[in-house]
């Protein structure tokens, strides 16, 4: 086209005025929102208005000139790559910050320092207990000093109880925080889904909805601290000719296909019920994407799976919808003539604690989570391109990362006490040390302390048949009671039975033989005179005898516990031989102050036994038999009253280094490896050291992640943030362009006026 037309020049000037004015408006909006959280700097996108083609009467002297400028759109200045890096780092910050806060809660319990003392409270009480035993050692038989020892032991028990209760409080507090955080995540997911719907609606009508995008980005940033996410965008077809942008949020590193949290106007919710069915017993740990895993995933709370069992008793078919037994039977009858063969699979019928808060939770919360099917605000379920509906997805122990995962690990982490099942579901189980680890460590300490002193204060098993009167004239032999009758007891089924002396002799023999065999195993492993094959053959031979002994009855540990229980009955009913008539020992610590039961003693229930508290049992000063001295007149003198070797043994116990094994605290623990060797005080101190190291490591990581996150946020704000210097420069630039466009309009008007009026003259 030729030189721009007369009135076309006015259009170019007018468009210049509009462009400058609009750009000034955007600049003003940026300045106004400089302190608005999440606001992204905006820019007016200007394009030149130009018409292609050649005018009908154009000649070679004409020049093709544009028609001015157009305001194409307002865009945001964001760097998607910086957003990805920042959100990934926020997941690290959220995970380390939450873990650090949790460890600080533990530190308030386990790092407690005694008033006026450099040692911890329990450490101080251990020392007090030793001091009182030392005093009793020098005052054998004095009831006053025995009472003082008992009082100190009771204080120690109370401290164990209080520490255990404090750990329960920490656990319950963090479980509540976890529930609150899940609620917060669900709220964020709902808000993002709803914002997506609004942005989609605006996009259909051609609007950018920049402010809504800013609000959505703030929510996405917040979500990234709870869980690690992948954010992506694609196009959603509206019809044959039009598409709009769609936001997708997936759990990071969740496999292929990934676990979706948001897909456009569809969003999920995290589900974490109080109780949940046991996990799929046929879960394929080697292949998490095995279709069978999804088919047999745990049903929601209250739902039940009903199965047909094949001839071998294995599940053959599953009804994959949560339903009551009545509903399942009705479903069965659709394809069967009767209910013959209908069986409810027992593996699914058992509900276990999932997230229960309170004393009834038995500390066995598994904290499993599911993602519900993707739904829009009207409750419609998302369908993929193949028409398949979105399904509930069970999240594994390592599916999450961020503050939610840290809380999960804190309330479930058993560390070295993890079972094989724990390790199957969580490859990091043995290194996750949360409340359960410290509780079980404290339980193991309390249990070992109680066991060692209970053993020290009662007869050894091999002494029982020597200490109590036995009638060997009958077969089998029986113990003679204080009333002259045989000693009996009532078993768990209500049957009255005799106590068999042979049981103690056989157990003593087996215990000694086991010690010899285990020693032989160690010596065999070190024997350099044997070949590897000879060593292995001998090892098998020794291990075979060990297994044979341990297989007797209910096992060596159960037999030993049963023997201790019968020893307590003998203490109350049995008649002592003359050289053991001094015996006033017995159980010092029990799991309940109303009795003398020594089974399953923990830090939460350890207490002074009833017999010790009422004076029936005293600190046993010696286990050696009395020397009976008969005087000239036939009087009998006992030489036991001043012996104190057993009290000295108890004092030495406080300085004895003991092995601590995971199975001591939990029989289901997978590891047989010793996790500590030391005294009672050293074990308690070691718990504090482990906690301190974890705190230091976590604090270092948190500081590192925080600095990285801050640097990334600064880099991100250098692009997306509002800078007053830049905006001031833009303001001056657009003000000048506005003035220039106005001056152009004035100049054109003057030229036109001269052209028209001058021509008329």
For residues 418-447, average pLDDT = 89
The crossing angle, in degrees rounded to 10, of helices 143-204 and 435-456 is 170
Instruction: Convert 492-531 to b/e letters by CB count within 10 Å (16 or more is b).
Output: eeeeeeebebebbeebbebbeeeeebeebeeebeeeeeee
Structure confidence at residue 280 as a pLDDT band (50, 70, 90): low
Residue pLDDT, tens place only, 532-558: 899 999 999 999 999 899 888 888 888
Structure tokens at 250: 């997936």
Q: Is residue 497, in this structure, part of any structural domain at all?
A: no
Q: For position 279, what pLDDT does the model report?
A: 60
Measured CA to CA, the distance from residue 414 to residue 405 in angstroms comes to 15
Q: For position 282, what pLDDT does the model report?
A: 55
**660: CB partners within 8 A, 6+ apart:** 444, 445, 448, 674, 675, 676, 677, 683
* Domain edge (last residue) among 353, 385, 407: 353
Cα 98 to Cα 131, 191, 223, 406, distances in angstroms: 42, 24, 14, 6
Q: For position 751, what pLDDT does the model report?
A: 84
Structure tokens at 4: 């721009």
Q: Is residue 453, in this structure, part of any structural domain at all?
A: no
- The percent of residues in the chain predicted with pLDDT above 90, rounded, is 53
Task: Give the Cα-Cα-Cα angle 340, 342, 345 (nearest 5 degrees).
Answer: 155
Q: Is residue 334, in this structure, part of any structural domain at all?
A: yes
Q: Is residue 159, in this structure, part of any structural domain at all?
A: no
Q: For position 298, what pLDDT does the model report?
A: 40
Nearest C-alpha neighbor of 185 from the set 398, 403, 355: 403
Q: Is residue 123, in this structure, part of any structural domain at all?
A: no
Domain span including residue 291: 275-353
Q: For position 619, what pLDDT does the model report?
A: 92
Q: For position 120, what pLDDT does the model report?
A: 63
User: How many structural domains are present in the chain?
Assistant: 2
For residues 730-738, average pLDDT = 93
Q: Report the SS3 class of residue 323.
A: strand
Measured CA to CA, the distance from residue 219 to residue 226 in angstroms comes to 11
Q: Is residue 743, in this structure, part of any structural domain at all?
A: yes
Q: Is residue 443, in this structure, part of any structural domain at all?
A: no
Cβ pair 582, 626 in contact under 8 A:
yes
**Long-range pairs for 335-341 at CB < 8 Å and ≥24 separation?**
341/308
Strand pairing report for 315-318 and 275-277: unpaired
For residues 743-751, average pLDDT = 88
* Domain edge (last residue) among 302, 321, 353: 353
**657: CB partners within 8 A, 6+ apart:** 677, 678, 679, 682
Strand partners, 370: 271, 394
Strand partners, 244: 236
Burial of 274 (0-12, 13-18, 19+ CB in 10 A): middle
Residue 45 DSSP code:
E
Residue pLDDT, tens place only, 23-46: 999 999 999 999 999 999 999 999
Burial of 56 (0-12, 13-18, 19+ CB in 10 A): exposed
* Domain edge (last residue) among 326, 353, 380: 353
Structure confidence at residue 349 as a pLDDT band (50, 70, 90): very low
Average pLDDT, the chain: 85
Residue 510 DSSP code:
H
Strand partners, 419: 669
Q: For position 62, what pLDDT does the model report?
A: 62
Q: Is residue 30, in this structure, part of any structural domain at all?
A: yes
Q: For position 359, what pLDDT does the model report?
A: 64
φ/ψ (deg, to 5) at 381? -85, 140
Task: Give the Cα-Cα-Cα angle 413, 557, 511 (nearest 5 degrees).
Answer: 130
Cβ pair 596, 490 in contact under 8 A:
no
Strand pairing report for 658-660 and 496-498: unpaired
Helices then strands, each counted (H, E), the chain:
20, 24
Stretch among 280-284, 391-395, 690-694 having the lowest mean pLDDT: 280-284
Cβ pair 603, 443 in contact under 8 A:
yes
Structure tokens at 221: 């940033």
Measured CA to CA, the distance from residue 530 to residue 537 in angstroms comes to 10
The crossing angle, in degrees rounded to 10, of helices 6-32 and 724-760 is 160
Residue pLDDT, tens place only, 97-122: 999 999 999 988 886 544 434 456 88
For residues 365-392, average pLDDT = 89
């Amino acid at each position: 086209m030729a030189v721009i037309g007369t009135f076309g020049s006015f259009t170019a000037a007018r468009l210049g005025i509009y462009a400058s004015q609009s750009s000034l408006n955007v600049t003003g909006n940026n300045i106004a929102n400089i302190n608005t959280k999440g606001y992204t700097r905006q820019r007016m996108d200007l394009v030149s208005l130009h018409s292609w083609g050649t005018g009908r009467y154009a000649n070679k002297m004409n020049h093709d000139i544009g028609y001015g400028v157009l305001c194409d759109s307002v865009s945001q200045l964001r760097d998607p790559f910086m957003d990805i890096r920042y959100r990934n780092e926020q997941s690290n910050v959220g995970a380390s910050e939450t873990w650090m806060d949790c460890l600080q809660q533990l530190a308030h319990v386990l790092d407690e320092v005694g008033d006026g003392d450099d040692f911890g409270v329990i450490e101080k009480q251990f020392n007090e207990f030793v001091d009182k035993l030392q005093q009793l050692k020098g005052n054998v038989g004095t009831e006053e000093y025995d009472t003082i020892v008992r009082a100190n032991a009771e204080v120690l028990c109370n401290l164990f109880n209080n520490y255990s209760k404090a750990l329960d409080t920490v656990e319950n507090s963090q479980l509540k925080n976890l529930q609150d955080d899940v609620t917060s995540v669900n709220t964020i997911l709902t808000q993002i889904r709803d914002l997506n719907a609004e942005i989609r609606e605006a996009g259909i009508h051609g609007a950018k909805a920049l402010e809504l995008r800013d609000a959505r980005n703030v929510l996405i940033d917040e979500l990234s601290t709870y869980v690690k996410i992948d954010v992506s965008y694609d196009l959603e077809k509206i019809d044959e000719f039009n598409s709009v942008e769609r936001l997708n949020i997936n759990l990071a590193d969740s496999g292929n296909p990934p676990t979706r949290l948001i897909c456009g106007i569809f969003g999920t919710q995290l589900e974490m019920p109080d109780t949940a069915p046991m996990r799929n017993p046929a879960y394929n740990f080697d292949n998490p994407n095995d279709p069978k895993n999804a088919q047999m995933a745990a049903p929601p709370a209250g739902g039940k799976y009903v199965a047909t069992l094949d001839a071998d008793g294995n599940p053959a078919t599953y009804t994959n919808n949560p339903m009551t037994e009545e509903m399942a039977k009705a479903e069965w009858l659709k394809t069967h003539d009767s209910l013959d063969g209908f069986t409810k699979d027992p593996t699914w019928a058992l509900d276990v604690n999932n997230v229960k808060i309170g004393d009834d939770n038995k500390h066995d919360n598994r904290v499993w989570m599911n993602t519900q099917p993707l739904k829009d605000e009207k409750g419609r379920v998302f369908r993929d391109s193949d028409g398949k509906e979105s399904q509930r997805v069970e999240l594994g122990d390592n599916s999450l990362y961020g503050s939610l995962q840290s809380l999960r690990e804190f309330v479930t982490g058993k560390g070295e006490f993890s079972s094989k099942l724990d390790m199957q579901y969580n490859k990091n189980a043995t290194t996750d040390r949360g409340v359960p680890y410290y509780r079980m460590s404290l339980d193991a300490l309390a249990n070992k302390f109680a066991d060692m002193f209970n053993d020290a204060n009662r007869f050894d098993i091999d002494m029982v048949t020597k200490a109590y009167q036995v009638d060997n004239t009958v077969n089998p032999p029986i113990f003679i009671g204080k009333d002259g009758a045989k000693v009996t007891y009532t078993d768990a089924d209500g049957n009255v039975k005799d106590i068999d002396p042979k049981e103690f002799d056989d157990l003593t023999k087996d215990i000694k033989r086991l010690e010899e065999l285990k020693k032989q195993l160690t010596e065999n492993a070190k024997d350099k005179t044997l070949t590897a094959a000879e060593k292995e053959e001998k090892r098998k031979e020794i291990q075979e005898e060990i297994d044979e002994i341990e297989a007797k009855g209910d096992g060596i540990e159960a037999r030993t516990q049963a023997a201790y229980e019968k020893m307590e009955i003998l203490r109350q009913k049995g008649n002592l031989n003359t050289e053991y008539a001094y015996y006033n020992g017995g159980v010092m610590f029990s799991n309940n102050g109303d009795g003398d039961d020594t089974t399953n003693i923990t830090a939460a229930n350890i207490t002074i036994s009833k017999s010790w508290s009422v004076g029936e049992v005293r600190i046993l000063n010696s286990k050696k038999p009395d020397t009976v001295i008969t005087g000239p007149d036939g009087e009998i003198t006992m030489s036991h009253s001043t012996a104190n070797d057993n009290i000295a043994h108890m004092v030495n116990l406080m300085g004895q280094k003991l092995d601590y094994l995971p199975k001591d605290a939990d029989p289901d623990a997978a590891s047989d490896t010793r996790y500590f060797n030391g005294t009672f005080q050293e074990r308690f101190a070691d718990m504090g050291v482990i906690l301190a190291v974890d705190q230091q490591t976590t604090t270092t990581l948190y500081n590192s992640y925080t600095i990285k996150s801050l640097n990334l946020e600064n880099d991100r704000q250098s692009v997306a943030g509002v800078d007053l210097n830049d905006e001031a420069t833009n303001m001056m630039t657009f003000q000048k362009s506005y003035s220039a466009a106005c001056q152009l309009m004035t100049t054109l008007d003057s030229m036109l006026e001269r052209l028209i009026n001058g021509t008329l003259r």
